[in-house]
Amino acid sequence: MSLTDTLARIDTDVLQALAPRTDAEGRFPREAIDALAGAGLLGLVSATAVGGQGRGLAEAAQVVTALARTCPSIAMIVCMHYSATAVIEAFGPETLRRAVAEGRHLSTLAFSEAESRSHFWAPASTARAEGEAVLLDARKSWVTSAFEADSYVWSSKPVAADGASTLWWVDAKADGLSQPGRFDGLGLRGNASTPITAQGVRIAAGQRLGADGQGFDIMMGTVLPWFATLSACCSVGLSDGALTRAIGHVGATQHQHLSTSLADLPTIRAYLARGRIKADMAQALVNDTIAAIGAGRLDTMLRVLEVKAAAAETALEVTDIAMRVCGGAAFRKEAGIERLFRDARAASVMAPTSDVLYDFIGKAVTGLPLF
């Protein structure tokens, strides 16, 4: 079965019924994770040598975009999993890589902190050596799949080396990890995105991912390209989902006394046209970003910075258009549009926020150093 067909089957069999319940109950969509694992999609980007499918960013983007059309919560969970997997594949032990590849292990990123906010590359959390072990202390402000994932790709200050940060893989069941509160948010209500506090969490020194002090380089060279692109795919997918629902509504809704539909109104068509253009432009930028990363083009970092900001802002505009053209009907839960409207609010304030990215893009185009 092709990747497209597999995703369509999961959407029909699982997501369409599960997504409204996931949102209404603020519940982690474990059934969707199980379906993805069963289809081999949790191991999509793991190497074939450890049992994965050996696919790349383009296929990961296809998965996340398709999921986001129906359930942005599961799309963001998978975005974080693939971003973490990219690091695990490059630096993790074989046993961990095999668990991920075989669909037995869900991972995520644990970068954002209360002290550094959206500047995720500058952790305030600490790691200190104690014999053969390392003790972690932190206040992580937002972790997707918190206490639902099996591990975290975790950032801290270096133990001894120079540099801004060091990365580790941390078992989600490790002693000393606690959850200050549950998530009950406006949108993306099913992705279990909560703070995590670490107090004297003991891990093995061998759980380091890369060299001590190398975390910043891994964040910029590995994590950011994957996360920014796949986050953009979440925004593009939910934009497409909102447009599809809006188009279906205006085509089916009749003015009985005129024997016309809402789609017969030029104003409605013009709004939908603008939304379609915006969504297609964002998709084109996603495609070009993937091409730039694959070819190692000189403009790769610029595209990586642009794609998340552009897609996030597009999702705000497109979901607003969908709400506008559907009028009062869009406020009903069963239409599914107001859910995507709420979910779309997250990307622009998720680190790195659109405003932070605009500053970076401005520095890049004027020749200033980013950091």
Partners of residue 153 on adjacent β-strands? 109, 169
Mean pLDDT throughout 191-207?
A: 97
Residue 31 within a domain:
yes
Residue 371 within a domain:
no
- Residues 309, 115, 162, 178: is their CA dihedral positive or negative? negative
Residue 121 within a domain:
yes
pLDDT score for 122: 87
What CATH number is associated with residue 117?
2.40.110.10
Do 229 and 247 share a domain, yes or no? yes
Do 272 and 307 share a domain, yes or no? yes
> What is the spatial distance between Cα 119 and Cα 155, in angstroms, rounded to a whole number?
12
> What is the spatial distance between Cα 175 and Cα 201, in angstroms, rounded to a whole number?
6
Condensed to tens digits (0 to 9), the pLDDT of residues 82-93 reads: 999 999 999 999
Condensed to tens digits (0 to 9), the pLDDT of residues 5-47 reads: 999 999 999 999 999 999 999 999 999 999 999 999 999 999 9
Do 102 and 134 share a domain, yes or no? no
Condensed to tens digits (0 to 9), the pLDDT of residues 214-235 reads: 999 999 999 999 999 999 999 9
CB atoms < 10 A from the CB of 95, how many?
A: 9
List of residues 6+ apart from 173 with CB closer than 8 A: none
> What is the spatial distance between Cα 268 and Cα 262, in angstroms, rounded to a whole number?
7
The helix-helix angle for 300-326 and 266-295 (nearest 10°) equals 160
Partners of residue 203 on adjacent β-strands? 134
Domain that holds residue 153: 110-212
Question: Does pLDDT of 256 surpass 70?
Answer: no
Do 272 and 227 share a domain, yes or no? yes
Do 101 and 157 share a domain, yes or no? no
The pTM of this model reads 0.96
Do 263 and 308 share a domain, yes or no? yes
DSSP string, 184-241: --SS-TTS--EEEEEEEEEEEGGGEESSTT-HHHHIIIIIHHHHHHHHHHHHHHHHHH
> What is the spatial distance between Cα 20 and Cα 149, in angstroms, rounded to a whole number?
22
What CATH number is associated with residue 42?
1.10.540.10
> What is the spatial distance between Cα 248 and Cα 250, in angstroms, rounded to a whole number?
6
Condensed to tens digits (0 to 9), the pLDDT of residues 297-340 reads: 999 999 999 999 999 999 999 999 999 999 988 899 888 999 99
Number of structural domains, the chain?
3
pLDDT score for 329: 87
**CB 33 within 8 Å of CB 15:** no
Please state, rounded to an integer, the average pLDDT across all residues of the chain.
95
**CB 45 within 8 Å of CB 53:** yes
40, 74, 106 - which closes a domain:
106
Please give the share of the chain, as a percent, with pLDDT higher than 70. Answer: 98
> What is the spatial distance between Cα 53 and Cα 253, in angstroms, rounded to a whole number?
44
